[in-house]
Amino acid sequence: MPLKGKIAYFKRAIKTIWLRQMPYGLVSLAFLNPWPSPEVLLHRQLFCRGIPKAPRLIVFLINIGLWLRWVLFFAWREARRYVGLYGSDVASRDGKSRVRQLMECLWLALAHCVHPQAYYHYRLYRCCARNTHWSYVNNSELVSYHRRNANSEYADLQRGLLSHKYVFGERMRQQGVSVAESKLLPKGTTYSQLSLNPVTSYFLKPDRGSQSIGAFRLDFNDCGNPMLRYFSDTVLSEGTAVDLIDRYFGDVDYLLQPLYENDGGFSVLDCGSDEVIVLRIITWRIGQEISPYCAYLEIPVVIDGVKKGYLFAQVNTDSGKVLQGSLELSAVYRSELVDSFKTRLKGFIVPRWRECLANNILAHRQFSELETVAWDNVVTSERALILEGNSGWSVELPQMFCGGLVARALD
């Protein structure tokens, strides 16, 4: 790697560490126990393994600084913030005072480096949930957890293929997997070079992007001029849109895709958004068999004409039926909206569920070294399509819906 590239890499690494709140993995008093439970032992194995290819001693030294910053500042701030967000609801529903919640949050945060967010998202405040924080993989262990399941040079190559969306799509099509159509726009492409139909809408995203960063919808006004729209519904038009598109294209390779629409069966879930409902299915490999671990819908929500975010609803992986009660597990919106969607989802079965699941399993069979993959799908009136696959998927929502991953990791 040239010296300039090494300096840029070093700067990015320093920035990432500086912005990080928590150590890499849990730092727990329980790790001092010479006879730990299997759950504690697993978390101890994940400690200091969050930076790929970095010597563990280096990660340990970095963790000392991150841990001190966490216990001296961030743990206190985050505990206070999350008790402020959820404390009153828990107090009225479960009868546990805000002071008690704060003390328990701080104990988990200071003694085990468990984030206060996990205390509420995994319902650790319930008496029956005492000590069950060991059952969950924490966000601070995310990278080390996924690499523990697939830690080889060939697994790295397969992760790279998943992250390279265009090549991934081409390879999958060759194997009979249904994936979204896309055209590769090499870095340096300009808007003027595109051949676009002004009566059609498009979707563009970085070829190697993640978390929708740099992704946008492209429409055209009555004069045929471009209108760029983000997921937040922010709209830029004409010259401003063209300048920004050219700037994006000048930085990285982009993918140009059709703007897909959901199957008509999803109309009951329409909330005034023109964004598609995405179906995420997480598959995992058990021996030679591949089966679904968890599935859920990501439903875009519009309130009073303004895009507010998403509701998440778990899907039964045996039947494709949406579980109404799952809406409450991740809801951060007013209860009347959740109640409305619970009514809409009564008896709702995901259209083309069997087709979509079989397509995801077929895709996973092409990645022999990866134990788990999360697939984002769009179900259209014609077929179910994979938008992309993710080997480093976030563990929070799946564990809220389907239980902790630690027991699965110990099998």
Q: Which of 56 and 234 is assigned the larger pLDDT? A: 56
Distance, in Å, from the CA atom of 321 to the CA atom of 313, rounded to the nearest integer, reads 10
Query: DSSP secondary structure string, 259-320?
Result: -----GGGGGG--S--SPPEEEEEEEEETTEEEEEEEEEEEEEEETTEEEEEEEEEB-TTT-
pLDDT at residue 6 in the model: 59
User: What mean pLDDT is predicted for residues 22-28?
Assistant: 93
* DSSP letter string, 305-331: TEEEEEEEEEB-TTT-BB-GGGHHHH-
Nearest CA to 47 among 155, 159, 137? 137
Dump pLDDT digits (tens) for 58-90: 989 999 999 999 999 999 999 999 999 999 988
Environment class of 10 (CB within 10 Å of its CB; exposed 0-12, middle 13-18, buried 19+): exposed
**Residue at token pair 């005492």:** 130
- The per-residue pLDDT for 15 is 77
Which pLDDT score is estimated for 304?
64
Is there a contact between 204 and 257 (Cβ–Cβ < 8 Å)? Answer: yes
Q: What angle do CA 300, 302, 308 make, to 5 degrees?
A: 75
CA dist 110 and 104 (Å) reads 10
Element (H, E) at 185: strand 183-185
pLDDT of 116-161, one tens digit each? 999 999 999 987 666 789 999 999 999 899 888 776 778 888 998 9
Pairing of strands 202-206, 254-258: antiparallel
386: pLDDT confidence band, cut at 50, 70 and 90? Answer: very high
Q: Residue 374: pLDDT above 60?
A: yes
Could you tell me if residue 245 is left (phi over 0), alpha (psi between -120 and 50 degrees) or otherwise beta? alpha
pLDDT of 98 higher than 70: yes
Whether the pLDDT of residue 1 is over 60: the answer is no
pLDDT of 239 reads 73
Closest C-alpha among 92, 65, 159, 83 to residue 124: 83
**Whole-number mean pLDDT of the chain?**
88
| Residues whose CB falls within 8 Å of the CB of residue 106, separated by 6 or more in sequence, listed in order | 75, 76, 79
- 399 membership: H or E segment, kind and range: helix 396-402
Q: What is the pTM of this model?
A: 0.90
Res. 307: pLDDT tops 80: no
Residue 57 has pLDDT above 80, yes or no: yes
At residue 54 the predicted structure's pLDDT band, cuts being 50, 70 and 90, is confident
Q: What is the mean pLDDT of residues 366-372?
A: 91
The pLDDT value given to residue 154: 83
Secondary structure (3-state) at 35 = coil
Q: What is the pLDDT of residues 177-236, one digit of tens each?
A: 999 999 999 999 998 888 888 888 899 899 887 767 788 888 888 788 888 887 665 667
What 3-state DSSP class applies to 205?
Answer: strand
Query: Of residues 274 and 247, which shows the higher confidence score?
Result: 247
Report the pLDDT averaged over residues 361-374.
Answer: 94
Give CA–CA dist 106/99, Å, rounded: 11
Could you report the per-residue pLDDT of 327-356, keeping only the tens digit for each?
888 765 567 788 888 889 999 999 999 999
Contact status, residue 386 vs residue 380, Cβ threshold 8 Å: no
Q: Residue 389 and residue 142: Cα distance in Å, rounded?
A: 17
Q: Looking at residue 334, what is its pLDDT?
A: 63
Average pLDDT over residues 297-316: 82
pLDDT digits (tens, 9 = 90+) for 102-118: 999 999 999 999 999 99
| Apex 18 CA angle, 12 and 20, nearest 5 | 105
Tokens at 340, concatenated: 């409305």
